[in-house]
């Protein structure tokens, strides 16, 4: 059913539908035994626009828990960030993996 912002009459009752918001997707970076912590921090700062402090926090979560959320975006932006991460990792010779998951 399409989103409607105006009040409509259905069966003699005023109905006001709430707009549907676009689904959000998270980019999750996965831990591995090769990728350096410094490289992960640089990816978080350069691609995901984290501050240095938040990048270190996320990197430690990735290291200690096996994965961590780099950012939450609409689907297209999440996929772009994933691709940028994979390309940067490959160019640097690291096997860093990034996956996109629905929020």
Residue ranges of domains in the chain, CATH in brackets = 21-102 (3.30.1390.10)
What are the pLDDT digits (tens) for 26-41? Answer: 999 999 999 999 999 9
Q: Left, alpha or beta for 80 (phi > 0: left; psi -120 to 50: alpha)?
A: alpha
What is the reported pLDDT for 17?
76
pLDDT at 4 over 60: no
The residues facing 72 across adjacent strands are 26
How many Cα atoms occupy the beta-carbon half-sphere of 52 within 13 Å? 1
Q: What is the pTM of this model?
A: 0.81
Across-strand partners of 68? 29
Average pLDDT over residues 15-36: 91
Residue 48 pLDDT grade (very low, low, confident, very high; cuts 50, 70, 90): very high
Whether 15 contacts 8, CB under 8 Å = yes
């Amino acid at each position: 059913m399409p989103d409607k912002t105006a009040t409509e009459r259905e069966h003699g009752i005023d109905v006001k539908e709430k707009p549907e918001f676009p689904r959000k997707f998270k980019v999750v970076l996965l831990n591995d035994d090769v990728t350096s912590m410094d490289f992960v921090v640089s990816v978080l700062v350069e691609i995901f626009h984290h501050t240095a402090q938040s990048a270190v926090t996320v990197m430690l979560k990735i290291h200690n828990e096996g994965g961590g959320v780099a950012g939450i975006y609409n689907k297209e932006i999440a996929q772009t960030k994933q691709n940028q991460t994979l390309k940067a990792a490959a160019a640097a010779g690291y096997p860093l993996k990034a996956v996109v998951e629905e929020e």
